[in-house]
A = this chain, B = another copy of it.
Amino acid sequence: MTESRLSQVDNLKLTMPALGIDLGGTKIRAAAVLNNKLVSDPQEVPTPSGAENIVNAILGLIEKFQAKHVLAGVGIATAGIIDGDTGEVVGSTGNLPGWTGTPIRTAIESRTLLPVHVENDANAAAFGEASARNLRHLNSVCVVTLGTGIGGGLIIDGKLFRGAHFGAGEVGHSRISLGNKRLCTCGLFDCWEAYGSGRGMVATAREILVGLNADQTPLVALGSNLTTRNIVAAAAKGDIVAQRAISMWHEHVAVGIVNLAHILDPSVFVLTGGMAECVDFALIHEMVVDRCMSRIGENMRIEKSELHGVAGIIGAAELVLDAILERAS
């Protein structure tokens, strides 16, 4: 391609926003994104049921934004395993029944004539984090989403690493215990997710509570209503059982990070998701360094996401902008 055409594409990237869409189980959120930042307020609609209705809801959002912005393209982050080349949902997702097999990219491209990129939501969020934090020039970035479960995404040499079958980054389903003690939502035992997620913190607290009575800790009275919120609130009031659960949860989170550090030695870890709010970053850094080989530990960077739920939107938008540049080159 000629230099003048390249600079045209560069201008495109710099002046025209892409629409980033984050398709979740309950709502679809979208915003216009330029240079790794939102340039519009996010809009959201409830997620309808059925693939056709979801596609129509996405088309409705695009139309709404097109009334105000000239869009360079549309990036869509969705649950499920996505074939990044075809933009098709190839692996099922419990939260979006009937979604597997949907050729999202073709469906949206054919009706909007805009370039579309579709990506797994954890991957898109990871790419959004790396982009917004200006980390894409580094050797590698490992983004870990600590929420009800644990997800992740890897950015290697500035590009999303999807693995050979678009399955990379399932870091929550690496096994950290041999006891067959905690059944994970994936059907396997003792995944990192069963310990280091929000659900893991509650499970840890329940194990500590066995045999204790309501005089020893108010958590006993909560029974099956025990949540991470209760545990964090009780710990803040000095409850030692809650504090012990949170301390053990930090140990569990650290195990998974140490494992990733020994396998990948990434430049930076970014922790995101609702449970990242519960992480004591000084403590987790100390734990991880303490349990890592010195060469890896002495360079350890563990940072907290500051994107507050828009990582998927930014990542999806940046991915379609990247795809446009790549197709043009």
Q: Which of B81, B152, B262 makes the CB contact (< 8 A) with A170? A: B262
Asked whether A94 is an interface residue with its Cβ less than 8 Å from the other chain, the reply is: no
Q: Given A81-B295, A174-B174, are A168 and B265 also a contact pair (CB < 8 Å)?
A: yes
Query: Which of A156, A188, A255, A264 is the most central at the interface, judged by chain B CB atoms within 10 Å of its CB?
Result: A264
Name the CB-closest residue of B to A161. B156
In the bound complex, do residue B171 and residue A262 qualify as a contact, i.e. CB atoms below 8 Å apart? yes
A111 at the interface (CB under 8 A from B): no
Identical chains bound together, number: 2
The answer to whether B299 and A165 have CB atoms under 8 Å apart is yes
The answer, yes or no, to whether A29 is at the interface (CB within 8 Å) is no
Considering residues A167, A258, A261, A266, which has the most beta carbons from chain B within 10 angstroms of its beta carbon?
A167
Q: Which residues of B contact A166 (CB under 8 A)?
A: 265, 295
Q: Which of A140, A165, A171, A261 has the most CB of B within 10 A?
A: A165
Decide: A291 near B188, CB < 8 A? Known: A171-B263, A263-B260.
Answer: yes
CB distance B264 to A175 under 8 Å?
A: no
Q: Can you name the residue of chain B whose Cβ is closest to the Cβ of A195? A: B178
Chain A residues within CB distance 8 Å of chain B = 81, 90-91, 138-140, 152, 154, 156, 161-171, 173-179, 186, 188, 195, 252, 255, 258-267, 291, 293-296, 299
